[in-house]
Amino acid sequence: MIENEYKFRINNVVDYIEKNLVKEFSLAELASISNFSKFHFSRIFQAVTGETCFQLILRLRLEKAASFLLHSNDSISGIAYDCGFRSLAVFSKNFKLHFGESASIYRKTKKNSNLNKVNSTSDKSMPPPSLYICNITKSIKWKANMKNNISIDIKELPAIPVVYIRHIGPYQGNAALFEGLFNQLFAWAGPRGILDKKDFKTAIVYHDDVNVANQSKLRTSICITAPTDTEVDGEVGKMILEKGKYLVATFVLKPSEFQNAWDWIMGQWFPTSGYQPDDKPCFEFYPEEPKDGAFKVDICVPVKKR
């Protein structure tokens, strides 16, 4: 279908923007990535995404900055420059227009709000996560205190090629949505032999911070690992999950427990770990089939030292 082909091309542009958010973009450059004429690119981009490309760039920069405000102690000016703004005044003006308050007030009120949310859903009797040294691997490990957690490690993950179908919009608590998207991707991958590979894995990539982004614009990619030379078509795209240092927290969870696991990681593990989230998408890996309605999942969050 032409509609799916257009989505595929525009997704390539959005992925490029996301990976290079701090640079300056030109319309001609983005049009060339889409393989559309620059005379038609802007109209097609807005029709597919609901935004002009430069509105999307500004929004992603602002949401990235808002996420940094919540999850790091970096200065506001440093965050502004790290997110592609060349002027603190320009950043401040656009931030207030987008979020309705200054960056400093946003950081203060949102951090307190998120902390209260975690405290209200957590077991007050649980001690915070604690460190220990594994004598076998000679590396730092964490003793977890959350129900259904199996292990917590900091790992260097390689670059992971995947094929994906992307959903834009709300997704939390919608198990039927994920099932439908995975079925759609499996139906595409099966005839191409991707599911015949014994070591293939499924994953869900979260491109936006759910505590920051507009729910109607949340981007989620349903993925299957696949060789880098896999040919894609229609609505199916391909990308590389970037290599780097990640928190890998393994859980066995029922669908209703996923948000508690994420809240625990962000609200309890990170503040005591010496790390903060890095600037790459988070994702979930599913190493095996669900059993009795519960999923074994590796929650992977990119990290850097504070």
- Of the candidates 127, 204, 128, 137, the one whose C-alpha atom is nearest the C-alpha of residue 172 is 204
Pick the CATH number of 2-110 from 1.20.120.330, 1.10.3720.10, 1.10.260.40, 1.10.10.60: 1.10.10.60
pLDDT of amino acid 219: 95
- Is the per-residue pLDDT at 268 higher than 90? no
pLDDT of amino acid 146: 67
CATH code, residues 153-305: 3.20.80.10
Sorted by where each begins, the domain ranges of the chain are 2-110, 153-305
- Is the per-residue pLDDT at 300 higher than 90? yes
pLDDT in tens, 231-246: 998 889 999 999 999 9
Share of the chain above pLDDT 70, in %: 88
Domain 2-110 matches domain 153-305 at the CATH topology level: no
Give the global pTM. Answer: 0.84
- Is the per-residue pLDDT at 135 higher than 70? no
pLDDT of amino acid 211: 87
Q: Which two tokens stand for residue 131?
A: 């460190």
Please report how the helices 88-99 and 53-71 are oriented relative to each other, as an axis angle in degrees rounded to 10. 90
pLDDT of amino acid 232: 92
Tell me how many degrees the CA angle 249-252-245 measures, rounded to the nearest 5. 15
Distance CA 128, CA 272 (A): 8
